[in-house]
A = this chain, B = another copy of it.
Amino acid sequence: MKQIAIGIDIGGTNTKFGVVDNMGNVIISDSMDTPTHGDVYSYITDLSSELRKMIKSIDQINPETEIFGIGIGAPNANYYTGTIEHPANLSFKGVVPFVELLKKEFPEIGVITITNDANAAAIGEMIYGGAKGMKNFVMYTLGTGVGSGIVVNGNLVYGNDGFAGEIGHTMLIPGGRKCGCGKRGHLEAYCSATGIKRTAFELLSDLNATDSLLANKTYEELTSRMIFEAAQKGDFVAQETFKLTGKYLGQGLADTVHYLSPEAIFIFGGPTAAGEFIFEPAKQSMEEHLLPVFRNKVKVLPSGLKAGDAAILGSSALVWKEVVN
C-alpha cells in the first residue's frame, strides 16, 4: 500500500494541488485559477471536482494507494479552527470554515488540515528538506511579503490564537519604510523581494547612479532577479543593494536568535537565488548583532525544498506531521 498525501496551496492568483508520497516525491500536480470574485462555496465545488479527477488518476497509476489526508496552505489560515480569516488577497471575505467545507466533500479522508503558507513551508522543510531531524528552527519566506514559520521542540508554534510567526511584521527600523500592512519600518519592507527592489531604487536615487545597469528599468518592471543578474555583471548599485539587504536581514535574524536560539534559519523564496550576494552579508550582519553566547552557532541556509514544488510539498507535509504526532 503506497501512502500518499494531497497538498493544496491557495495563492491570490493560483491554487496549486498535487499528490505527494511520504518521501517528498510529487507524483502528480495541477493548478487552477483562484477565483477573483464569488463566494467560497463555488470555489470549494470547483476545487473538489479537480481533486476528485486527480485522485482518479492516482488510482489508475497505482490502485494500491492510500490517501492519508489533505494539507492546505492559505493566507490567514488558522490551524486551530480550520478557518481562513479575512484574507486580503482572496475574494471570499470574513471567517471561512474551509476545513469543515472540504470535509463535507471528502468525508472519507481522515486528516484535513490547514495553516498559512510560511508555516506549511516550515513543516515541508522539516519533513522533506534541510530541517530533517531538527527540533528548533525558523523559516523565513521572502516573496512579495515576508512570511515565517517557527518550530520549537519539533512542533510548529501557532501561539494562543493560531497566528504566531509574523516575523515579517516585527520592527526593523522605527519610522522607516511603509510596510504592506500600513505600518512603518517592518522587516518585510526591507527584506522581501519587493523590499530589495525598494532598496535598489533608493540607492539609484541616493547615488544618482545613471551609469547603473538598473537605471533603465521602471519601478514596475524591476525584479529581484534583475538585480541579481546586474550584481553578477559587477553592477555597483545591484551589489550594494544585496549588501544592504543582507545587513537588514541579519539584524532580523539576530533578533530571531535572541528570541528562539534555533539550530538553523532557513530562507526560502526568489531572492535566495542571489546566493552569496545575499547570504554572505546576512550572516555577517547577524553575527555582528548577536550576543557572544550565540555567535558561530546558528546556521543560515537556503531552503532545501525545490522552488517549483515547495508550495505543494509544504502543504502535503502538514498531513505527515499530523499522522506522526
A residues engaging B (CB < 8 A)?
Answer: 76, 85-86, 135-136, 150, 152-153, 155, 157-167, 169-174, 181, 183, 251, 254-255, 258-263, 289, 291-294, 297-298
In the assembled complex, the Cα of A171 lies from the Cα of B255 at a distance in Å of 7
Q: Which residue of B lies closest to A179 (CB)?
A: B291
Which 4 residue pairs are nearest across A and B when measured between Cβ atoms? Answer: A159-B261, A164-B261, A160-B263, A166-B258
Query: Can you tell how many copies of this chain the complex includes?
Result: 2
Contact A251–B174 (Cβ < 8 Å):
yes
Contact A260–B157 (Cβ < 8 Å):
yes
Contact B158–A258 (Cβ < 8 Å):
no
In the assembled complex, the Cα of A161 lies from the Cα of B254 at a distance in Å of 15
Q: Which residue of B lies closest to A251 (CB)?
A: B171
Contact A261–B158 (Cβ < 8 Å):
yes
A85 contacts across to B, CB distance below 8 A: 293
A173 contacts across to B, CB distance below 8 A: 174
In the assembled complex, the Cα of A157 lies from the Cα of B77 at a distance in Å of 24
**Partner pick for A254 among B135, B159, B171, B291, CB 8 A cutoff:** B171
A251 contacts across to B, CB distance below 8 A: 171, 174
A-B contact pairs, 10 of them (CB 8 A): A136-B164, A152-B159, A158-B261, A160-B261, A160-B297, A163-B261, A164-B259, A170-B255, A170-B258, A171-B251
Contact A164–B289 (Cβ < 8 Å):
no
| A61 → B minimal CB distance (Å) | 39
When A166-B258, A293-B86 are in contact, do A159 and B136 touch as well, CB less than 8 Å? yes
In the assembled complex, the Cα of A258 lies from the Cα of B150 at a distance in Å of 11
Contact B159–A260 (Cβ < 8 Å):
yes
In the assembled complex, the Cα of A255 lies from the Cα of B170 at a distance in Å of 5
Contact A259–B152 (Cβ < 8 Å):
no
Q: Which residue of B lies closest to A138 (CB)?
A: B259
Contact B261–A291 (Cβ < 8 Å):
no
Contact A261–B161 (Cβ < 8 Å):
yes
In the assembled complex, the Cα of A76 lies from the Cα of B291 at a distance in Å of 12
When A255-B170, A255-B171 are in contact, do A293 and B76 touch as well, CB less than 8 Å? yes
| A165 → B minimal CB distance (Å) | 7
